Chains A and B, each alone.
Chain A
């Protein structure tokens, strides 16, 4: 078992051992507090470019489910067709797994998809560093690779926008039931569970690349997906959305989509010191006063004060007060930052 380290841009080093693909990798280091769901998280395009730290110490217990892709090109169980994270940091992982639906161990999966992992890391101590300092660039170092934090230190890392890498490259149309409404899905790195849910409802979905000019399409509504990275850099998408807001067709979105809608409306987005990554984020519905538990995975937030006239923060986070959803007072425009397993009034178009 090779020794490995995770080195943060501030110079903090955590030691561990390599597993999965034995190689070094760099990315923004973020942590997620969910106790289950590692196959979904690893394949979540919103985490593209990130090194993911899981706070729950036992990972890989139930192996890896069916990684198959259906005839429409949608992953049957996971969030995309491949592992999106740059690296995985855990305390312990199960080589032997047990689940009726599993065919592969986490370790073998990482190796197969050439994604490095590191285990035996004091993930709790690491999380506390991240909690205090916010997300940091970091590098997973295996063997002789002597990375000193050079090159990607600080926040100056210049790269292609990660959305460009995870978005579809061309327009894909998924025909719905005969006569079904048609929505444009702006793919910023859409989670396949969202796709599966949209299609299950029988809608016709036109999935377009993130920078695709959908203004010439005819549609009944627009759905802007989740995705990775800094939304402020998606100027072209924001411009397209701004156009849509001038119309009367519903515009909605989730996660990145929520931030992009906010930006298009004229709001301001800032990086959060502590992003929300977990299945247990409490959110207040400011309209009804109801509280709900949500799944979240984001590191940027809309500033409440920046919301222009006509928009209200429809949901706020109960822990830190950040905006978790917006709604236009009169137009059919709304979005949320989260997923929820249970919502009494599902968001419908």
Chain B
């Protein structure tokens, strides 16, 4: 019997190890259930997701995914079934806990899909091994332990090196390799913070890592949808490795064997739905070990779905409702059954994206625990093509495997042996320095097949480098546009080519084609040919030349069955691995292309996916053909169901132009995909691409610091003073005028963070010496930094300079905290009416001046009623989904209509009519970023966010802070509240804590200040005061402290001092940490005035 109502748990804020893939999984599941006419309830505080949008789930709760809140929602909604497999480890852990508490039983809620017992068996290591032993499936030798001492004994027993893993943890949290007793002690202690059970495992470092995605239904039908191979050997977490699908280096017999074992396991465990099986595979003996089994949707399942076109989450949800695979259809062919195993006729490469450079003090090595914040998937018909595409997609200024800015690597051997986030580029460097495949294999254990292919890229690059650049540049149209198949012989073609390029023969043209087949971009080719003389024009010269020679990419479909059956879904990629397009273009000018946002990174993630999806839906509902270009497998916008055509491909000028020329679209939308598409505005405009929205020259006026500043001056709009300076002397002169502190932004960063606030001369000099090389070529932008100012965001939609809708929101923290890290309240609660009026007026002026059409965002500083503009983006901003959902006006839908030139009525309501408040809080992932200093500053550090709604600010703050993982303390609080001003700011909150009966511990200055103000506290000592007692760190280790408030004295990123040690210990010991006085005040006030029970269980729809 079908249930009437089903509850689905989301995964909350994006964090390292749990990112956008669960928005995709959840959205698919909700679609699958909704189709059946079943009501859906979703709990997910992540307001920027697609799954929490209108029309996806029937009822949405922006509440924390914790047993308490989920139980409350169950009690209120009384669903008959619950789905736990679509919200990552967060949902799964919460579900297991609720099951143990008997909550599901109490309310008569069925756990749909994989039985809870199977989930528990896959999560508890001992049970897991026992279960697999029953069917003679080999697992890695390991011992489950409950204490550090037991761990040491187990390691000695197994023999070093060993790997430590925390049970029930995601993304390898709290795991790592230990070569000896000391390393083990340190790691085991950390692991026990996350889990009462820790596993000590024999290390199989160097084995291959292979994954299978398996689906099983209640009828015991079982298929393996995809197998994937890690480029990096075991020892590097699969989330940190380049992953290739399908498996490349195993033969048929080995694949069949692993497939068979995977199916055996899944049947034995009784999974109903999707399941991931990870293997270690010995290269030389054909031995395998099962590493782990995830009986839920995962990052790998999202990747497998995108890699094959098989919608795993959608199918898993249907199976959870009791369907059999044979009763479902293949959603790509729409004619064949969903009971099949996809055959690929292309290869995909997943490459992780790290943002380690943003953190001070961080350990950049990669290993068994995940640090990457996002990923890309590249599709090609050769491994080289997919890999080079992918390396461009990760968006860190790389152009592929070679022709990048020269890397400085001190010790190549060491860098190969101890991989960092630069691993692949180290290999490139080593190959160019003459290392052989064999040598690199010895140092990295990467399979030689991959290395041979990489070597091939280098060889092609070298051949290009000795080629003389073409002397004449034939114009497009002189030759046939495509390489003809039947109408011309190769000889004829070659003859034509000779006429085209004076100094090039057939071999040179052939080389150009070879380079394209191996994934070289026009930019790489231009750099190889012209080297240091290369100009910005040269890549375009190569493009024209190529087209004249008929070397152009073709469009192929991802069709799940390698061409065996016709595909209905337009899931596409471009490749040089073919000569014919899979589809015909009718050039009817009814396509509208939306450029996506690329890899998730710190500063750009699911919010832009939401924007992209909203734009696509609007385009489609207005009768246009919606076309998406994006390459992030974690997203909903790369689900071929959300648009009419999906190009899973690069967002470079070259590729976008390839697609534009084929599609001949009515228009291209750049403003919903964050900064990547925005950066293409000028160059696309130059090539006459019909851009929708604000004209490119105005985008340039807003992006170019000088132009924008001049414009503001002309309009009489105030801004913090700034100057671009190229010598220390000039900087000193400027600083004398504006005074410290100043914000310093180098244009060329040597190491560490890109921006810093300097409070005095000494700090500034040190920063400039360490991090920035000030010179004429590399000037530094120095801006006046205004302290204790409010930061205000204006998100709006305009039509030809006229504002249609706007949303003003206010940061809880004072300026100095990056807007992506700040806690944001909307509507603003504490702004002067005059401030609001001025902001509206300036916004109107700017919109008019820049002739804005579409979404835009302006950031303001307000001190008193003085308003200064700090930034203006002529595109949707991070806060668009938040304000759209709180206000219940879809800003992107409106903006898209405006950009399509359709009439739009301004909305009837405005934010000041709302009788509730939304709080957007940030999620940090410092627990995964070993050694990074967990502070908020001018550079963004958070990986995700939540948005919660409540009747008043305190309630909304409390919900949102709980949703990003804070816990209300019950015992002791450690206070070191920074400089005098911050101490004063925190005083009333501290008094509240005292009144509530918390035991307060304070370091020297804070202790003295509190004493003077009549708040009793226990004096504790900094780690630097070695001989004094009690030590703050000891109390933390002894679990006496369950909240740490540590406010750095100023925003300068300085040495890793005492404060750092306390902050880092809080993260490593999983103790909630607050480092901003304003946020600490807000949170403390909230939990001192409200209890969790006071929080209303109200759905979004009820506001």
Contacts and interface: CB of A to CB of B under 8 A. Distances in A.
Contact of B345 (A37, A55, A96, A291): A55
A226 to B, nearest CB: 17
A284 B336 CA distance: 13
Nearest to B256: A341
B221 A96 contact: no
Interface in B613-632: none
Contacts of A122: 485, 554, 577-580
B347 interface: yes
B563 A35 contact: no
A183 to B, nearest CB: 25
B711 interface: no
A266 interface: no
B511 interface: no
Interface stretch (A12-20, A170-178, A252-260, A323-331): A12-20
B343 A56 contact: yes
A96 B337 CA distance: 38
Contacts of A124: 345, 556, 562-563, 578, 582
A134 interface: no
B274 to A, nearest CB: 16
A98 B343 contact: no
A291 B251 contact: no
A36 interface: yes
A58 B382 contact: yes
A267 interface: no
Nearest to A292: B221
Interface in B316-351: 324-326, 335-337, 339-347
B556 A35 contact: no
B248 A61 contact: yes
Nearest to B563: A127
Contact of A99 (B219, B249, B490, B578): B249
Given A122-B579, A124-B345, A341-B256, A289 B340 contact: no
Contacts of A98: 249, 447-449, 452
B458 to A, nearest CB: 13
Contact of A15 (B222, B344, B490): B490
Contacts of B343: 33-35, 55-56, 278-280
Contacts of A58: 248, 347, 382-383
Interface string A37-68: 10110000000000000011110011001000
B564 interface: yes
Contacts of B580: 122, 125
Nearest to A123: B345
B565 interface: yes
B563 A319 contact: no
A94 interface: yes
A293 interface: yes
A204 to B, nearest CB: 26
A35 B344 contact: yes
B246 interface: yes
Contacts of B260: 341-342
Contact of B449 (A57, A61, A319): A61
A57 B452 contact: no
A178 B437 CA distance: 53
B536 interface: no
A92 B382 contact: yes
Given A125-B579, A319-B340, A61 B249 contact: yes
Contacts of A127: 345, 562-564
B246 A91 contact: no
B883 interface: no
Contact residues on A (Cβ < 8 Å of other chain), bracket: 35 or more
Contacts of B222: 342
A133 interface: no
A230 B486 CA distance: 31
B223 interface: yes
Which secondary structure dominates chain B's binding surface? Answer: loop
Nearest to A277: B564
Contacts of A40: 252
Interface in B852-876: none
Contacts of A61: 248-249, 449
A161 interface: no
Interface string A99-131: 111000000000000000000001111011001
Contacts of B326: 282, 284, 291, 318
Nearest to B561: A33
A318 B221 CA distance: 13
A56 B220 contact: no
A155 interface: no
Contacts of B344: 35, 56
A97 interface: yes
B251 A34 contact: no
Contact of B485 (A14, A94, A96, A278): A14
Interface-centre pick from B251, B382, B485, B490 (highest chain A CB count, 10 A): B251
A342 B263 contact: yes
A319 B565 contact: yes
A3 B566 CA distance: 30
Given A13-B486, A33-B562, A57 B221 contact: no
B250 A282 contact: no
Contacts of B337: 282, 291, 318-319
10 tightest Cβ-Cβ pairs between the two chains A and B: A37-B252, A96-B452, A98-B449, A55-B562, A33-B343, A127-B563, A122-B578, A280-B341, A36-B252, A98-B448
12 contacts: A37-B252, A40-B252, A56-B344, A100-B285, A127-B564, A131-B565, A291-B219, A291-B325, A293-B223, A293-B339, A318-B326, A318-B340
Given A3-B490, A61-B449, A99-B249, 20 more contacts: A15-B490, A33-B564, A35-B343, A36-B251, A55-B563, A56-B343, A58-B347, A91-B577, A94-B453, A100-B283, A100-B286, A101-B251, A122-B580, A124-B563, A128-B582, A278-B562, A280-B342, A290-B220, A291-B326, A293-B340
Interface of A: 3, 11-15, 31, 33-37, 39-40, 55-58, 61-62, 65, 77, 91-92, 94, 96-101, 122-125, 127-128, 131, 274, 278-280, 282, 284, 289-291, 293, 318-319, 341-342, 344
Interface of B: 219-223, 246-253, 255-256, 259-260, 263, 283-286, 324-326, 335-337, 339-347, 381-383, 437, 447-449, 452-453, 485-486, 490, 554, 556, 561-566, 577-580, 582
